[in-house]
Amino acid sequence: MRIQFGMAICGMLFLQTATAQQAIQFEKYTLPNGLKVILHEDHSAPVVAVTTLYHVGSKNEDTARTGFAHFFEHLLFEGSENIKRGEFDKYITNAGGALNANTSQDRTFYYELLPSNQVELGLWLESERMMHAKIEQIGVNTQREVVKEEKRQRVDNRPYGSFLSEVLKRAYKVHPYQWTPIGSMDHLNAAKLDEFINFYKTFYVPNNCVLSIAGDFNKAELKAKIEAYFGPIKKGDRPIPRPTIKEPALGGEVRDVIYDNIQLPGVFQAYRAPKQGGDEYYAFNVLSTILSGGESSRMNKALVDIKQQAAAAQSVPFFNEDEGLFIALAIANMGVKIEALEQSMDTVINQLKTALVGEREFQKVKNQITTQLVTGNATMAGIAESLANNEVYFGDANLINTELEKYNKVTRQDVLNVAKKYLNKDNRIVLYYLPKEKPTTK
């Protein structure tokens, strides 16, 4: 069984990437209107990835208008002054390209993958989106239905699909991380057109965006074109709201039972965890790989292979700009008591708190992480996204080249320390997912 996560965390599951062996060269500059531009020139294949990252996610939303950031990810494919409704993606398909977008708690990301002679098409489309996207009632109505369908497909209909929203609303009481990017359909229904227009004017401005392009282009020519397409876009004149609220400690274990359309029960444990980017964050990612990186990892070996209590077991570091979560989950095999499964999970986690990881195992995990970081830079799209993420989150696009050092600094003691500090009962939410089953009758 494979557990699928909604768009909410897909940006998080993949680590920002780096390689020590071969530096990723890039140039970074800012246009007068505040647009940050990052260019990585690479002629190894005739392709280019044109991406824009807007520093707006669900945490920037009003408590009564959740789902706005993600809704925009849909709305901004509707068209612009010069792009007719429904034509945005056709331009890309007809050029032999591909496109998509995703939204997290912290940011919204758009990308086009194109044959390199079509790079200008990407610039045109992205600048149209930023300059004068059409925010009209008809588009709002259409996309509202699409988003509802998306929610049905990804959250309501997917086994365990609601787990993230169920975890978040118990993990955060005051911070906007308490809702998922998909947000509330009621809020979207209630929102008026001018609220959408305001959101666009506030967040979709060049000074809240990074344009990151990687691939086969001539940098000098490309810079001229970027200037021509993006230069005339006006800088935003409104303050950009960013939450400063601090979530207090959880203050005791929270336990609950959720009934869902599933066949097999599941245990979801979520521990409150630090922000991304600090020393503890790197130690936590190492810890997560110890637990569930590959078939020889502790959770897979203990729960799936040896005890055969779980059909699947996984840990998910859910780290964000503000304080995040560390999630451990397991889906029970037929006939396994959920309490017994949770006990085994606790045993595996307690081992991390009581003893240093063995030296060979620690080396194995470091090797896995190194491979993962290096392979992450295999595509132009991956490089463009990493550069943009690193710039927005840490003000340091070059982290793509230095991140491995941060992992190399993590010691076995560091792993023990974060386990002891965070993986405690009074710091966690535990959800049991149980089948909402009708009894069989004769």
Which of the residues 381 through 410 are near other proteins (CB under 8 A)?
none
Tokens matching residue 37:
């531009």
State which of positions 147-206 bind other proteins (CB under 8 A).
Answer: 152-153, 156-157
Q: Kindly tell me which residue out of 242, 294, 343, 426 binds other proteins, with binding defined by CB under 8 A.
A: 294
- Looking at 179-187, 280-288, 378-386, 416-424, which segment touches other proteins (CB under 8 A)? 378-386
145 binds other proteins (CB under 8 A): no
Return the beta strands (E) in 3-97 as ranges: 27-30, 36-41, 47-54
Min. distance of Cβ 320 from other proteins in angstroms? Answer: 27
CA 58 and chain centroid, separation: 11
- Looking at 44-52, 233-241, 349-357, 411-419, which segment touches other proteins (CB under 8 A)? 44-52
State which of positions 218-277 bind other proteins (CB under 8 A).
Answer: 219-221, 223-225, 227-229, 257, 261, 263, 265
- Looking at 4-12, 192-200, 237-245, 331-339, which segment touches other proteins (CB under 8 A)? 331-339
Min. distance of Cβ 313 from other proteins in angstroms? Answer: 15
In the complex with other proteins, the residue whose CB is nearer, 47 or 431, is 47
Count of residues that bind other proteins according to CB under 8 A:
86
412 binds other proteins (CB under 8 A): no
Q: Are 314 and 266 in contact (CB under 8 A)?
A: no
State the amino acid at position 199 in one-letter form.
Answer: F
Taking alpha carbons only, the member of 99, 48, 106, 37 closest to residue 74 is 99
Rounded to the nearest 5°, which phi and psi values hold at 242?
-130, 125
Question: d(Cα 208, Cα 227) in Å, to the nearest integer?
Answer: 17
Min. distance of Cβ 182 from other proteins in angstroms? Answer: 15
Q: Kindly tell me which residue out of 4, 30, 137, 296 binds other proteins, with binding defined by CB under 8 A.
A: 296
In the complex with other proteins, the residue whose CB is nearer, 103 or 162, is 162
Q: Are 233 and 130 in contact (CB under 8 A)?
A: yes
Residue with tokens 């990723």: 24
Burial class (CB in 10 A: 0-12, 13-18, 19+), 29: exposed
Taking alpha carbons only, the member of 262, 280, 372 closest to residue 323 is 280
Min. distance of Cβ 281 from other proteins in angstroms? Answer: 21
In the complex with other proteins, the residue whose CB is nearer, 85 or 421, is 85
4 binds other proteins (CB under 8 A): no
Min. distance of Cβ 137 from other proteins in angstroms? Answer: 22
Min. distance of Cβ 357 from other proteins in angstroms? Answer: 13
In the complex with other proteins, the residue whose CB is nearer, 60 or 165, is 165
- Contacts for 27 with CB less than 8 Å, ≥ 6 apart: 38, 39, 219
Question: d(Cα 338, Cα 262) in Å, to the nearest integer?
Answer: 14
Angstrom CA distances, 416 to 289, 292, 312, 359, stand at 14, 17, 25, 13
Residue with tokens 């909402």: 436
DSSP assignment, residue 178? G
In the complex with other proteins, the residue whose CB is nearer, 82 or 350, is 82
118 binds other proteins (CB under 8 A): yes
Burial class (CB in 10 A: 0-12, 13-18, 19+), 169: middle
Handedness of CA 364, 365, 366, 371 (dihedral sign): positive
Min. distance of Cβ 178 from other proteins in angstroms? Answer: 25
- Looking at 50-58, 181-189, 399-407, 431-439, which segment touches other proteins (CB under 8 A)? 431-439
- Contacts for 70 with CB less than 8 Å, ≥ 6 apart: 7, 58, 103, 108, 147, 181, 182, 183
Q: Kindly tell me which residue out of 4, 94, 350, 402 binds other proteins, with binding defined by CB under 8 A.
A: 94
Per-position DSSP letters for 413-438, written without gaps between them: HHHHHHHHHH--GGGEEEEEEEE-PP
State which of positions 338-367 bind other proteins (CB under 8 A).
Answer: 338-339, 360, 363-364, 367
Min. distance of Cβ 219 from other proteins in angstroms? Answer: 8
45 binds other proteins (CB under 8 A): yes
115 binds other proteins (CB under 8 A): yes
In the complex with other proteins, the residue whose CB is nearer, 193 or 224, is 224
293 binds other proteins (CB under 8 A): yes
Q: Kindly tell me which residue out of 295, 354, 359, 395 binds other proteins, with binding defined by CB under 8 A.
A: 295
Handedness of CA 121, 124, 126, 128 (dihedral sign): negative
